[in-house]
Structure 1
Amino acid sequence: LIPPSHNMIIYSIAAGGSVSIVSLFLAGVLPGILLGLALMAATWLVAVRRGYPGGSFPGWRQLLVAFIQALPGLLSAIIIVGGILSGVFTATESSAIAVVYTVIIAAFVYRSLNWSKFMTATRNAARTTAIVMLIIAAASAFGWLMAVAEVPLRMSEALLSISENPLVLFLIINLMLLMLGTFMDMAPLIIITTPIFLPVATQLGMDPVQFGVVMILNLGIGLVTPPVGAVLFVGCAVGGITIEKSLRSIWPFYCAMLLVLLLVTAVPSISLGLPGLFD
């Protein structure tokens, strides 16, 4: 959700380029902050309830030092979004600028990048790019097939036959996206589901930018949804615990994420307020 999000770019491409990447970047800021605050609140409640000991305050000086050390990396998002908004460069050009800036910072400021690591990162980036480009290449054909088969129209008719209340229908769409998100990664799901659900959402009165935020939030929650969520398995492997044990602790955080999802779905201004300031 927090820009610069590559999933926002993939959603824009899957939507046929009709949804502004800049608007999507801005639309993800407030929902992302809201999600972070909700998860912090859930963490605090769990810590208080279980009696976890609190740490000592490190002091303002140490916080300032840590902020200064992190500032060069944090500036990358500001440079990308600010450059796009000011018209200095396009959204496509921003990716190249971000790479150059990151390499310079990693090599000369943090001194964590050498030639061997650079070549390894380049090979990994090439593999990832090839995978994503293959998915995107298939997206155009898939979107065309969906349009020819009138799948969005049939989906809209099926949903409207259930209820005429947009909130009820959006709740159904959310549930479908959540279930799909437990089985697949976000990028291919965005490519597959956008041509199907975006026309339905716009017909029901939801802005395409807002729907992009709702979709990405849904699929992100799906990645940690038991019992199949891929990120849940990774987290359990890192923590050395079983899925069954994690299920007893995940619900406060899951409920916090679902609450934010409902708010973003029901209140358009949460995602559309910031982009509206720059129209």
Structure 2
Amino acid sequence: MDAFVLLGSFLVLMIIGMPVAYALGLSALIGAWWIELPYDAVMIAIAGGVNKFSLLAIPFFVLAGAIMAEGGMSRRLVAFAEVLVGFVRGGLSLVNILASTFFGAISGSSMADTASIGSVLIPEMEKKGYPRDFATAVTVSGSVQAILIPPSHNAVIYSLAAGGSVSIAALFLAGVLPGLLLGLTLAIMCLFIAKKRDFPKGRSIPMKEALRICVDALWGLMTMVIILGGILSGVFTATESAAIAVLWAFFVTMFIYRDYKWSELPKLVHRTVKTLAIVMILIGFAASFGYIMTLMQIPTMITGLFTSISDNKYTVLLMINILLLVLGTLMDMAPLILIMTPILLPIVKTMGVDPVHFGMIMMVNLGMGLITPPVGGVLFVGAAVAKLPIEKVVKALFPFFGALLLVLMAVTYIPALSLWLPGLLLK
């Protein structure tokens, strides 16, 4: 009955249209009332949820990504990717995917990736003879890399949802190979489609121009080196690397590229703060919701349910994948990580699944949810940038869903994809 009251009230509040964050907070209060827990305890749980030093990584990474996105970095990364792969048949689709790889390693955000890369490449691809819906599908699916490749904001949220027991540095490293595998899988599929549909070849860029483009992009690409290099060398933590990344992004944008006006900076900071306020409210209310779930022993009950169905690790992981894929289409990624991690992590840990590995499984699953209707935030951004109906973009996405499912199966059943790099570099 306890679980019915807490989860039922949350679902009812969601159905009537209440924002997820407020639905979490209010259902936590309803749950506290039901079990006769003082409301002070709920307030303490909310405050404790956001009073964590590691959470500072989120605002810093978001701000660094916003500065680089609006400061001309996306245009330079597209040009750099074109130097590397733009000359082959269907080359612009490969440029799109590779630019997403680079930009994801700076912004850590799929939405920022889709908006920035899409605004540059979707019109360009259409002009060169690619269907607009195909260009949008490439952009949207390629942006899922940003969830996996460091510095992923969602990896920080997963670490928080796991009670801080999972290293952010380990999660960052764990996302590198799955992210690159995703990009490679999409690229191979695009090459196949390009040959089948006879898409145009790109131009070969002269050496002198290529060198200028590479040097121009190098300043922004150094952000990746600063973040990962600093963490791996032990010079600073993941949180401190985020702060350094902001300083570097500001320096490159305002003093090297100089495409951004100083007068626009306050507006950028204001937009970033608004975004972060929503995220922090969500994290605080999700912490109180998780606290009430723990008191009601809901995670223990769900663990018992899964293990009663099967004690085979691979079967349980398949069931969890199906569950997360369905939930990912109905709710945004961050609240799902905060809600489902405390429930599912104990299940997989009892079966010997490493928490870092499971984090990557969650990222790929919920990343697919971001590009799937009816609540695919990245899908909506891509359709808005391309000025296309959602239905047309979804139809073009069907082959890309297949590629993403292949990557999901590989990440789920080949733990070394997630664990090899952390094991090698964080000994």
TM class by shorter chain equals: over 0.9
Q: How far did 1:243 drift?
A: 2.9
Cα shift readout 1:117-175 (whole Å, capped 9, x = no counterpart): 21111111211222222222223322222222222221121112222221111111111
- Specify the structure having the higher radius of gyration (Cα): 2
* Contact 2:328–2:369 (CA under 8 A) maintained in structure 1: yes
Alignment of 1:118-157 (within 5 A): 118-157=265-304
The CA distance in 1 between the partners of 2:326 and 2:406, in whole Å, is 17
| Mapped contact 1:12–1:20 kept (Cα < 8 A) | yes
Counterpart of 1:8? Answer: 155
CA contact (8 A) 1:177 1:219 kept: yes
Matched, 1:162 2:287: no
**CA shift for structure 1 position 15:** 1.0
Of 36-45 and 263-272, deviating more is 36-45
The 10-residue stretch of structure 1 (82-91 or 11-20) with the greater mean CA deviation from structure 2: 82-91
Question: Take 1:88 and 1:42, find their aligned partners in 2: how far apart are those partners?
Answer: 40
Contact map agreement 1:43 1:253 (CA 8 A) in 2: no
Give the Cα separation in 2 of the matches to 1:170 and 1:63. Answer: 46
Identity among equivalent positions (%) equals 52
Partner of 1:34: 181
Question: Over residues 80-137 of structure 1, what are the superposed CA-to-partner deviations in whole Å (9 max), with x where a residue is unaligned?
Answer: 1211222211222222111111111100011023322211111112112222222222
Q: What residue number does 1:94 align with?
A: 241
Out of 399, 412, 418, the position equivalent to 1:271 is: 418
Q: Which amino acid aligns with 1:87?
A: G
Determine the structure 2 residue equivalent to 1:201.
348
Shift, 1:228, TM fit: 4.4
The normalised TM-score by structure 1 is 0.94
Further displaced range: 129-138 or 171-180: 129-138
| Aligned partners of 1:236 and 1:243 also within 8 Å | yes
Distance in 2 (CA, whole Å) between partners of 1:5 and 1:62 is 32
Match of 1:218 in 2: 365
TM-score if structure 2 supplies the norm length? Answer: 0.63
Letter matched to residue 203 of structure 2: S
Q: Distance in 1 between matches of 2:209 and 2:390?
A: 37
Match of residue 191 from structure 2:
44
Letter in 1 for 2:314: L
- Relative to structure 1, the CA distance from residue 60 to residue 31 in structure 2 (aligned partners, 3 Å threshold; closer, same or farther) is farther
Any stretches of 5+ residues in structure 2 without a counterpart? 1-147
Cα deviation code 1:205-262 (max 9, x no counterpart):
2111111111111111111124542322332232233333333321211111110010
Mapped contact 2:332–2:375 kept (Cα < 8 A): no
Partners of 2:237 and 2:386 lie apart in 1 by: 41
Contact 2:332–2:376 at 8 Å: present in 1 too? no
Cα distance in 2, alignment partners of residues 187 and 78 from structure 1: 26
User: Paired residue for 2:339, among 192, 195, 201?
Assistant: 192
CA shift digits 1:26-67 (9 cap, x unpaired): 000000000000111111122222222222322444433322
CA deviation vs aligned residue, 1:162-214 (integer Å, no higher than 9, x gap): 22221111111111111111222222221111111111121222111111111
Instruction: After superposing the two structures, state which structure 1 stretch, 187-196 or 57-66, moved more.
Output: 57-66
Hey, what's the Cα distance between the residues in 2 that align with 1:263 and 1:59? 39
2:399 to 249, 252, 264: 252
AA at the equivalent of 2:349: T
186-195 or 25-34: bigger deviation? 186-195
Contact persistence 2:331–2:375 (CA under 8 A): no
Residue 105 of structure 1: aligned partner: 252
Q: 1:117 aligns with which of 260, 264, 268?
A: 264
Higher RCO, Cα 8 Å, sep 6+:
1
3-state DSSP class of the match of 2:210?
A: helix
Where does residue 169 of structure 2 map in the other structure? 22
